Structure 1
C-alpha cells in the first residue's frame, strides 16, 4: 500500500497562539455530555425548574395560589430568574402533560432531581415545599411528593425537616 503525503496548512505563530487561547463556551465533563445526549441528565436550570414546577403539579392540578407563587419565584430565585420567559414557556409546554400524569411524573422528577447540582438541592426542595404550602392545603399526593423529593434529592432528613417546619410557620402567618 502506497503512502500518500497530505499537505497540512501552514499556520503562523499568531494562528497557533490564538487557537490555543480559545476556550470552549462551556466546559462539560465527557460523562456529563454523554448522559445529556442519552437523555439521562438535564441542565441545572431545567432540572431545578422541573422540581419546583413538579411541586405545583404534585396533586394533578395547579391551584391559583400555586401559580401565583410560581410566577413570583421565577423572578425571585437567582437560578430561575436566568430562564427567559420564552424558555419557561417552552419548558412548561414540553413537560406539563408528563407532570400532570402521576405515572409519568415520578420518572421525570427522578431524572430532574439527579440533575440538580448538589449545592442547589436544598434550595430546590425549599422552593418546592413553599409552592406546595402556598394554597395552605397539603394533600396526600403532595405529602408523597415531599417525601419522594427528600430521597431523590439525597437530602438529610434533619435539613429537610427544618425547611419544612420553617416554611409551615412562614405560611401560617
Structure 2
C-alpha cells in the first residue's frame, strides 16, 4: 500500500521546490531570466523556489526547460523516485537519455509486444528494469571496445604513413 504521507501538499511542494531550486542554481542563469523564459512572474518564481507556493505542472516544466534540463525526465524522476535522482541527474546525458527512453518506451512496447502487451505483469517491472540496465551496460562496453579497436586501427594507419 502507498504511504499517503509522501503526498502531503507541504512535503510535495518542498521536494519540488528543492528540485526546481537546484535546477535554477545549476543553470547558472539569473532568476529573472529563468522567470522570463518560463513565463512566470519573478516573485512567483521566488515563492515557488522557496516552497511558499506550489508550482503548477506547466510552470514546473517551463522552469526546468528554462534551466536547460530535460523537463519531462526530471519530473518523471521526481514522481517515481523522489527528488534525489532528479537532482543528481541534472544537466546530464543520463537525464536526456531517460527523457528519450521513457518517451519512446510505451510505443516500443506496443510495437514489439503487439497483442502480448496486455499480458505484461507488474511484478516483472523490477527485474525488467535491472535487465535493461545490464543490457545498456553491455552495450556501452561493446561500444568502448569498438572505439578502442578503431583507435588502434587509426593509430596504426597514422604510424604507417609517417614511417
- TM tier, smaller: under 0.3
TM-score scaled by length of structure 1: 0.27
Which of structures 1 and 2 has the larger relative contact order (alpha carbons within 8 angstroms, sep 6+)? 1
TM-score between both structures, scaled by the size of structure 2: 0.28
